Amino acid sequence: MRASDLLGERAVDGSGRDLGRIVDLVCETDADGRPELVAVLAVRGPWGRLLGYEREQVRGPWIVETLARWILRRQMTTVPWRSLRWGS
Amino acid sequence: MPLLIAFDLLDRQIVDRNDVPVGKVDDVELSDDGRYVTALLTGQRALGARFGGLLGRWITDTATRLDIDRLGPRRIEYDMVARVDSAVHLSVRRELLMPPALEAWLDEHVIGRIPGASDAG
Amino acid sequence: MKRLLAVTLGILTAIGGFVDIGDIVSTSEAGSRFGLAHTWVLVVGIIGICVYAEMSGRVTAVSTRPVFDLIRERLGPRVALMNLLGSYLITLLTLAAEIGGVALALQLLSGAPYLLWAPVVAIVLWLVLWRVKFETLERAFGLAGLALVVLVLAIFRLHPDVASLRTQATTFRPPRGENWPTYSFMAIALFASAMTPYEVFFFSSGGVEERWTPRELTISRVNVFLGFPLGGLLAFGFLATSAIVFQPIGLDVSSLGQAALPAGMAFGTVGLGLVILGVFAATFGAAMETSLSAGYTVAQYFGWSWGKLLRPRQAARFHIVVLVSILLAVAALLTTIDPIQLTEYMLIFSAIVLPLTYLPILVIANDRGYLGEKVNGPFANALGLIYLVIIVTAAVAAVPIMIFTGMGG
C-alpha cells in the first residue's frame, strides 16, 4: 500500500458522518524507531494542502496566514486511526 | 514530535550522506496493513502512479520503457533515513541505492560520450 | 578584490533580468514613445525584485536549498507542474530571443545576417556552459555587461533639457500622442520584465552553486541590493537616452541598432563600441542565465542532481535538459520569427505566471522549518504582500490590455 492510496480518499467516522478527504497521515515513532501511523487529518471541502499552514511552524504573513487558518480550522479534523472507516 | 507524511515527507528532496540529490519523495510505501512506513519511493514510476489519470499513465509508461530489468520504482528503505529537516537526509551514499533508469541510460549513451564529461566546473 | 567580485552573481542576474534583449528594446521603445513617463515603473520593479530576491537569497543561504526546489513541497506536484511548465515555456522562448539578441549584436558588428549567427551562438553557448566554470562565467559576463554604463554617461553628454526630463518623469500619465491603454501595456511589460521568475530561480540556484551557507547571508544581500539597482540603472540608461534622442523627433524605436544609436551620438565610435560590447555581454549573459535556469527548474522539480559543480556524468539529466533547451530555442529562432516580437509576447505572458511564482516564495520565507530565526520580519512581509497585490493586478490586467491595444500598437 502507498500513502497516495490513502491521501485524497473520503473518510467516514463510526457514526457514518462524512469527515471529508484525507489530506495527511500522522506518524509517531514506536519503540523500534519505526514510524507508526496513529491518526489522519481530514478536511471537509475542496481544500487539500494549503501552502503548509497546517503546521505550527509556518506563520505569517499575517493576512495570508489568517485566511488560510480560517479556512482550515473550520473544516479540519484529526481522526485517530482506530476510529476510521473507509467511505466509498 | 509527530511526523506528517504529506507535509514532512512527500515532495521533499532526498539527499544522500554527502548532500548529493537523490530524488524527490514521490510516494511513501506503507506496510500491507497500512500501519507502518516501510520505504520511500522516488522516480517517474512512483510520481506517475501518484498523479493518476492520463498524465500519470504517460509518465509511468515512459519510465517503464527504460526499466529493462523490470526493477519497479526506485525504493529506499525507511531505515536508511537519518533525519528529516528541510530535506530528507539518508545515512548512505547515493551509489549504494538503486540507480535512476534515465540518468544511467543517458550517462552511458549520451553524456558519457562527450569529452569533458568527467570534469566538474 | 575577492569581496568585490563576490557580487558578480547579483550583477549577472540583474543584467540578465534588466537589460536582456527584450528589456533593451522595450525600454528604448518606451523612452522613444513615452519619454521618461515610465521611470516610476522601473523604480517599482527594482524594489520588487530586490524584495523577492533578498527573500530567495536568504532562503538559499540558510536552508542551502534553491527556491524552486521548495515550490513543489509547498504547492504539491500538480500545481508545481503547472508552474514548471509555465516557467519553462517562458524561459525557453526568452532563451530563443536572447540567442537572437546576441546574433543581432553580431549582425551590427559584422553585417552578416543574424540567422547565420544564431546556430554559431548556440554552439558557443553550449560549449561555454559545458567547459567554463560558473564563477568565471559570472565574472566575465557580469563585468563586461557593465560596459552599458556608457549609456548613463551619455545622458549627461547629450545635454538634455533637465527640467523637461524631470517633468516627464514625475508626470504619471501618458504624454500627448499616446493613450492610457498603451501606457498601461508598456507599464505591465516593463514591470514583468523586471520581475521575471527566472531571475530568482537563477539567483537562488547560483547561490547553491556558490555553496552559500548562513554565513553568506550578508553577501547574498549585498548581491541583491547592489546588483539589481545597478541593472535597473542600466535599463534606465536605455530609457533616458531614447527619450532624449528619439522622442522629440517622434521615432519609435523598434530595433537594436536604433537603441544603440544614442551612445554613438554621445561618444562616437567608442561609445558605439562599448554599447555593442555591453549588449553582447548582457544578451549572452541572459542566454546563459535562461538556459541554466531551464535546466535548474526541471531538475529541481524532479529532484535530480543538477548544477555545474558536479561532474556532468553525475548530472546527466540536467545537462541534457540544458542542451535540449538550447536546441529547441535555436529551432524556434530559425523559423524566422522576429526575436524582438517574441520577447514582447513573452513579457506579457510572464506577467500572468508571476503570482504562481512569488506567492510560494513569500510563504516559504515565513517558514521556520526552513529559515529558523531568519524568517521574514514584518517589514519584509508588508513589502512582500504589497508586491503580491501589484503582481496579481498586473497578471489580471495583462491579457485584456494586450488584446485591447493589439500588443501595445
Model confidence pLDDT, tens digit, residues C83-93: 898 889 888 98
What residues of C are in contact with residue A57 (Cβ under 8 Å)?
367-369
pLDDT band at C252 (very low <50, low <70, confident <90, very high): confident
Residue C386 has pLDDT above 90, yes or no: yes
Instruction: State how many domains chain C has.
Output: 1
What residues of A are in contact with residue B5 (Cβ under 8 Å)?
3, 24-27
Task: Report the candidate in B86, B91, B102 with the shortest Cα–Cα distance to residue B11.
Answer: B86
User: Which residues constitute the domain of residue C244?
Assistant: 2-405
Summarize the confidence of residues C100-121 as an average pLDDT: 90
Q: Phi first, then psi: give them for residue C98, nearest 5 degrees.
A: -65, -45
Report the distance separating Cα C343 and Cα C189, nearest Å. 10
Residue A88 has pLDDT above 60, yes or no: no
In a domain, B60, yes or no: yes
pLDDT band at C65 (very low <50, low <70, confident <90, very high): confident
In a domain, B16, yes or no: yes
C157-161, C329-333, C348-352, C398-402: range with highest mean pLDDT = C329-333
Q: pLDDT digits over C280-292, tens only?
A: 999 999 999 999 9
Instruction: State how many domains chain B has.
Output: 1
In a domain, B44, yes or no: yes
For B1, the grid coordinates are: 514530535
Closest CA–CA distance from residue B110 to any residue of chain C (Å) = 8
For C138, the grid coordinates are: 559570472
Summarize the confidence of residues C367-374 as an average pLDDT: 84
Q: pLDDT digits over C143-189, tens only?
A: 888 899 988 988 888 888 888 888 888 887 787 777 888 899 889 98
| Domain CATH code at residue B28 | 2.30.30.240
In a domain, B120, yes or no: no
Residue A59 identity (one-letter amino acid):
R
Report the distance separating Cα C85 and Cα C141, nearest Å. 28
Predicted confidence at residue C314, as pLDDT, reads: 76
Nearest CA in chain B to A50: B7
What residues of C are in contact with residue B23 (Cβ under 8 Å)?
302-304
pLDDT band at C123 (very low <50, low <70, confident <90, very high): very high
- Each as own residue / partner, the long-range contacts of residues C245-248 (CB below 8 Å, 24 or more positions apart, any chain) are C245/C158, C246/C28, C246/C31, C246/C32, C247/C31, C247/C32, C247/C33, C247/C34, C247/C35
B101 touches chain C (CB under 8 A): no
Summarize the confidence of residues C267-273 as an average pLDDT: 89
**Cβ-defined contact of B50 to A28 (cutoff 8 Å):** no
Nearest CA in chain A to C382: A61
Nearest CB to B106; choose among C306, C310, C317 = C317
Summarize the confidence of residues A61-83 as an average pLDDT: 68
In a domain, B119, yes or no: no
Predicted confidence at residue A56, as pLDDT, reads: 52
Residue C20 has pLDDT above 80, yes or no: yes
| Domain CATH code at residue C175 | 1.20.1740.10
Q: pLDDT digits over B11-67, tens only?
A: 999 999 988 888 899 999 998 887 889 999 998 888 888 887 777 777 777 767 666
A4 touches chain B (CB under 8 A): yes
Interface residue of C79, C381, C386 to substitute, partner A, most A CBs within 10 Å: C381
In a domain, B121, yes or no: no
Q: Which residue has the higher pLDDT, B22 or B119?
A: B22
- pTM of structure: 0.87
Interface residue of B9, B37, B91 to substitute, partner A, most A CBs within 10 Å: B37
Predicted confidence at residue A70, as pLDDT, reads: 63
Report the distance separating Cα C221 and Cα C57, nearest Å. 7
Q: pLDDT digits over C253-265, tens only?
A: 888 888 888 888 8
Report the distance separating Cα C231 and Cα C229, nearest Å. 5
In a domain, B26, yes or no: yes
User: Which range (C18-22, C161-165, C310-314, C333-337) has the least confidence?
Assistant: C310-314
pLDDT band at C225 (very low <50, low <70, confident <90, very high): very high
pLDDT band at C61 (very low <50, low <70, confident <90, very high): very high
Closest CA–CA distance from residue C132 to any residue of chain B (Å) = 7
Residue A84 belongs to what H/E stretch? none
Residue A13 has pLDDT above 80, yes or no: no
Report the distance separating Cα A46 and Cα A53, nearest Å. 15
Summarize the confidence of residues A49-77 as an average pLDDT: 61
- Using N-to-C axis directions, what is the helix angle for C197-209 and C8-18, rounded to 10°? 160
pLDDT band at A50 (very low <50, low <70, confident <90, very high): low
Residue C239 has pLDDT above 90, yes or no: yes
Q: Which residue has the higher pLDDT, B86 or C227?
A: C227
Nearest CA in chain A to C74: A51
User: Which range (A32-41, C195-204, C359-368) has the least confidence?
Assistant: A32-41
Summarize the confidence of residues B71-85 as an average pLDDT: 85
Residue C134 has pLDDT above 90, yes or no: no
Residue A55 has pLDDT above 70, yes or no: no
User: Which residues constitute the domain of residue B96?
Assistant: 5-113
Please state the ipTM of this predicted complex.
0.86
**Cβ-defined contact of B5 to A28 (cutoff 8 Å):** no
Interface A–B counts its CB contacts (< 8 A) at 73
**Cβ-defined contact of A55 to C369 (cutoff 8 Å):** yes
Task: Report the candidate in C322, C321, C73, C304 with the shortest Cα–Cα distance to residue B100.
Answer: C304
